Structures are given as C-alpha cells and as structure tokens.
Chain A
C-alpha cells in the first residue's frame, strides 16, 4: 500500500494562476479531506468528502474547489491563486466505519508570489 500520496511536493505560482493539487489513496477509504498548515495555526480543514460525488466545506474553504469522482482521488483546485494561499497542504483519508484516525499524505508546499 502506498497510503496517501500527494503531488507535487513543491509548487511556486504567480498571483492569479490556477492549479490542482493531486491526492490519491489506495486504502479504499470513504472519507478524504484537505488541510492547510500555517505557522502558529495548526492545521485547518479546507474541504472534505465522505464518498464519491459528495463534498462539503470545512473551516477555510474560500478560494478552493474540490470534486470526488472516484473513491481514490480527491483533487484540490486553486482557481486564482493569492499570496494568502501560500501554505503547506495536507490530504488525509480514513474509513467511515469503524471510526479510526486520519492518515495523512506527505504534504505539498505551495508558494504564491
């Protein structure tokens, strides 16, 4: 099992550019989520999904879109990048039942100039 994988590991964007952060898991987990990590703020939930075709907003969803067309993949899209979106992004997954902890990907470090 590869677990949770994320690509790219590093990315530099210019303000206004768009891009998609990829996330995939091979554990057949129903639940997937995206977090951003900023200094001194812990991790904050951006969006999550409880299964293919179902997504919902987390704590800081503005500026981000997600979709879940398959169980395995949960991409995060930045439509028009802003410097405030400079952060480290983590994708995570877990099964729905029985409840367990979330498994995190290695992260993507994004810089928006």
Chain B
C-alpha cells in the first residue's frame, strides 16, 4: 500500500531564512508520480510541482527547489529566502496509476504547516 509521510507537523522560521519540508513515500510501483501542493490560509489548493518516478533531476523554480531521491524515497521541498507569503500548509502527494485506465490513487501526506515570522 502506498503511503506518504510528512513528519514535520509545524515549522516556524524567521523571514529570509531557508526552510526544507520533508516528504518520504512508500510504494511498490515502479511508475508513480509525486506532487507538492500549497494550501494558503484562504483554503484553496495550489499545485506546485509534479515529478514522475523516472525523472530524478532536481528542479528549481525561483525561490523553490525540490530534491527527489529514489534511493531514500524522499521528495523534499526547499524554500530559499522565505517570505511571509510562503506561510501555508504544504502537502506532498503520491500517485500510483493503473496502466491503460484512468484509475488513480492519489495519497496525500498529512501536511506541514509553515509559518514565516516577519
């Protein structure tokens, strides 16, 4: 069975500090997808990144970067020079897909609440 663990329930950092959110996953599939979503205080879910299991390249988007390591089943998310607007709950998610069908089991972690202190 697939599982996503976000061990950090809450993190607080002072503005401009760097912060890393951890995500560890379990799956028996060789083909899967990993995601990060942001949920700001307004409540909507904002897609941040998708990564498939065959692409271990790290990705950088502005102040955001993601480190995918299959060897440790981790997909960590780093925010550089944090800002108050980064305050939100961040969810990591794992999708195992059944081939040739649309069936999908998207499993979310329990989320990490990040607070950036001005």
Contact = CB atoms under 8 A, between A and B. Distances in A.
Q: Do A and B come from one complex?
A: yes
Interface of A: 30-31, 33, 40-45, 48, 50-51, 56, 58-59, 88, 90, 92, 96, 99-104, 106-107
B63 interface: no
B55 interface: no
Nearest to A59: B105
Contact of B103 (A56, A92, A104): A56
Nearest to A41: B110
B102 A43 contact: no
Nearest to A40: B110
A100 B104 CA distance: 12
B62 interface: no
Given A42-B91, A42-B110, A107 B102 contact: no
A101 B50 contact: yes
A88 B102 CA distance: 25
11 contacts: A42-B4, A42-B108, A42-B109, A45-B105, A45-B106, A48-B103, A48-B104, A58-B105, A88-B43, A99-B33, A101-B47
A51 B102 CA distance: 9
Contact of A103 (B4, B47, B109): B47
A105 B108 CA distance: 16
B64 interface: no
Contacts of A48: 103-104
Nearest to B50: A101
Contact of B44 (A50, A51, A107): A107
B105 A42 contact: no
Contacts of A101: 35, 47, 50
Contacts of A99: 33, 97
B101 interface: yes
A64 to B, nearest CB: 17
Contacts of B44: 104, 106-107
Contacts of A104: 37, 44-45, 47
Interface string B69-91: 00000000000000000000001
